[in-house]
Amino acid sequence: MKAIRLDGTALTRADVVAVARHGAAVELDTAQLKAVQHAADFIAEKVRCGEPIYGVTTGFGSNADKLLGAQRARDELPGGNPNPQSESLAEELQHNLIMTHAVCVGEPLPAEVVRAMLVIRINTLMRGHSGIRVTTLQALAAMLNRGIVPVVPAKGSVGASGDLAPLSHLAIVLIGGGEAFFEGKRMAGAEALRRAGLAPVKLSFKEGLALNNGTAQMLATSVLVLDELEYLLGVADLAAAMTLDAFAGRSGALRADVHALRPHPGQVAVARHVRELLAGSTLMDIPYHLVPRFRTWSAKAWTTPEDQALSFDIRWEWVPADYRRGREAFYRRVLPFRGGKKHQPQDAYCLRCMPQVHGAVRDAWLQACRVIDVELNSVTDNPLIFPENAGTRYVEEQVISAGHFHGMPLALVMSYVKAAIPVLASISERRLNKLVDPANNDGLPGFLTGNEDGTDSGFMIVQYTAAALVNDLATRAHPATVYSIPTSANAEDHVSMGANEARQVLAMMRDLGDVLALELYTAAQALDYRQRMLGAARRLAAAGGWQALATKMDNPPPVGDPQRPQFEREVAELARQLAEAKAFQPGAAVRAAREVLRAVVEFMHRDRALQHDIQETCRLVRERAYSV
C-alpha cells in the first residue's frame, strides 16, 4: 500500500482509515519539515532570551502563573530530582507533563483508534506552529510505521484542553515509558521501542505540550465513526430496497421530480440510491390484483409435482358486482380481486418516508464530514507559534494562547450523529416488524412461516432482538456535550466532553449494523415468499387457465348464479395477465444482496435453530460483504 504523505494540509478521512485499518505507512513531506524546524528553533531562541511563554517557561493550567526559575530549588526535598537527565527545568517540565497526564482508565482503545490518533497528531504537528523538533516528529512517525501501538485506556479525556490524558499515553511510549502492543503482544513501552529498533526521545521545549495538547482522540474516533456510518447508510438503503421489493411496493415516493420539490441533499441522494438499487425490479408497482395472499398449506393445495413441493397455498377474494357500486372507475382499471396488496396508493411511512428519514441521517453524516475534514488539517495545540511574526516587538504577538484545543466543534457534530443513529435503527426495525405482522405485511405469512401445525414461531423473535437493540441505542443517545464539568481548578471552566461523545458513538455503530442486518435477513425471507407465491400463481394460470385459478378464490359464485359468467370472464382475465407477465424479480442490486445472504443462510421452511443464521447475518454487515 502506498505510503500516506503528511504535510499538515492534505490529510483526508480515507488516508486516516488507510493507516488505521489497513496498515498504510506515513512519510513526512521534506519541504514542510523546514517549517517544523523553523518553529522549533524560534521557540528555543525565545527560551534562551528568558521570555515568559505558557507551558514552556511557565506551568500548565492553573499553574500558568508560575514562572520557571533558572535552576532547581527542590533537589534536597524528599524524592530528590525525579528526572536527573533533564538539562533544564523547561525540559523537565515537558517530561513531567507527559508522565503525570497519562492517567486514563478502562480497557485499551482499539488499535485502529490509536493508529488513527498517531497519524492525526503527526499531521497537525507538520503545520509548523507547535514548536516540535523534526527529529522528535520523525521518531513519532517511525513508531507508527514500525507497528508500535501505545496502550491508551479509553476513558480520561474531557475534550479540553484537547485529549490531554489519552495523548499523554501516546507520547509516554515515545519517551520510553508506559505500555504498548507490538507484534500482537502487550509489553513495556521501552521494550516495544527496543524490539522495533528505536530509541526513547528526550523532549525539548514545548514538545510535551505539542504531543498531548489537541483533539486527536475525539477526531480519530470521529473519522472511524464516519467511515462506519457511510457504509451503514448504504446498507440501510439496501435493506429498505429489499423490503420494498418484498412488499411489491410503490415507486412514486422515490421519483426524482418528487424530491426536487424538497431538495434536502441527503433526501435527494437516498431516493436516487434506492431507485438505483431497485433498477430492473418487476415487483415494484405491479397491479394490486396480481398479488396473491398467503394461505396455509394443505395436502390438496397443489396438483403438479413441482408445486406439491411448496410450503404454502395462495388465495384471492373476488369482489361481487354489488360491492363495486360507486367504485366503477376503479374496477375498470383494476380487476376485482383482493389478494395480498391493499387497494391503496401509498405505502406505510417506514417505506414511503424512508428517503426523508434516511436522508436526514445522511445530512447529519454530511455535516459531521464537513467539520471533521476541517479539523484533520488544523492546528489544535496551545500556545500557537507564529515564527513569521518574529519582527514584532512583543512575544505575545509571536506565541499566542488560544483555544483551538477545545473539542466542541467535533463534540456537537458527534452529538448530532449520536441522535441520528437510533432514528436509522428505529425505521429499520419498523420495516422488519411490518414484514412479520400478518395484519400489515400485505398478504405474506405471519412471522414469515407457514406454521401448518401451529408449532412454528418463524421470525417472531428476530423482531424482539431488533426492538431491544433500538431501545438500547435510544437510551445511549443522550449527548455528552451538554454536561460540562470544569477542570484544573476552574482554569479550564468549560469543556466539550467530545472524546466521550465520539467513543460512545463508535460503540453504537455495531448495534446499528446488527439492526440493519436483521432487516436484511427478514426481508430476504419475505422476498423469497413473495416471489414463490407470485411464481406459483403464474404457473397455475399458465397451466390450468381460469378453471385452476378459480379454485384459489375464497367466494366464487356457484354455477348457475347470475354473476357466474362475469366471475369466469374476470378470472380468465386475471389468468391471462398472470400467464403473460414477466417473471417477478427484485432489482438487480437487491437480487445480488440476497445471493450474498443466501450463500450462508438458507430460506427457512420451518422452525430451526437461528443462532447460526443471526451470527452469519450480522457478520456479513460487519465485514462489509454487501456492495452498497
pLDDT over 70, % of the chain = 95
Write down the pLDDT at residue 439.
Answer: 95
* Per annotation, catalytic residue among 54, 231, 288, 323: 54
Write down the pLDDT at residue 77.
Answer: 58
- Per the annotation, the verdict on 54 as an active-site residue is yes
Query: Cβ(53)–Cβ(43) under 8 Å?
Result: yes
Q: Is the pLDDT of residue 526 over 80?
A: yes
What's the chain's average pLDDT? 94
Q: Is the pLDDT of residue 347 over 70?
A: yes
Q: Is the pLDDT of residue 85 over 60?
A: no
Q: How many helices (H) and strands (E) are present in the chain, helices listed first? A: 21, 13
pLDDT in tens, 545-555: 999 999 999 99
Domain ranges of the chain: 4-68+85-214, 226-367+413-622
Three-class SS of residue 601?
Answer: coil
Q: What is the DSSP secondary structure assignment for residue 582, as one 8-state letter?
A: P
Reported as a pLDDT band with limits 50, 70 and 90, residue 468 is very high
Burial 120-148 (b: 16+ CB within 10 A, else e): bbbbbbbbbbbbbbbebbebbbbbbbbbb
Distances from the Cα of 149 to the Cαs of 22, 173, 185, 196, 213, in angstroms? Answer: 14, 9, 10, 11, 19
Reported as a pLDDT band with limits 50, 70 and 90, residue 61 is low
Q: Decide if domain 226-367+413-622 falls under CATH 3.40.50.300.
A: no
pLDDT in tens, 359-368: 999 999 999 9
pLDDT over 90, % of the chain = 83
Cβ neighbors of 452 (< 8 A, separation 6 or more) are 296, 297, 311
Residue type, 170: L
Q: Decide if domain 4-68+85-214 falls under CATH 1.10.1020.10.
A: no
Reported as a pLDDT band with limits 50, 70 and 90, residue 64 is low
Three-class SS of residue 293?
Answer: strand
How far is Cα 185 from Cα 501, in angstroms, rounded to an integer?
Answer: 29
pLDDT in tens, 159-198: 988 899 999 999 999 999 999 999 999 999 999 999 999 9
Per DSSP, the residues of 492-535 read B-----HHHHHHHHHHHHHHHHHHHHHHHHHHHHHHHHHHHHHH
Q: Is the pLDDT of residue 74 over 70?
A: no
Write down the pLDDT at residue 86.
Answer: 56
Reported as a pLDDT band with limits 50, 70 and 90, residue 70 is low
Provide mean pLDDT across the span 299-321. 93
Q: Is the pLDDT of residue 76 over 80?
A: no
Write down the pLDDT at residue 128.
Answer: 95
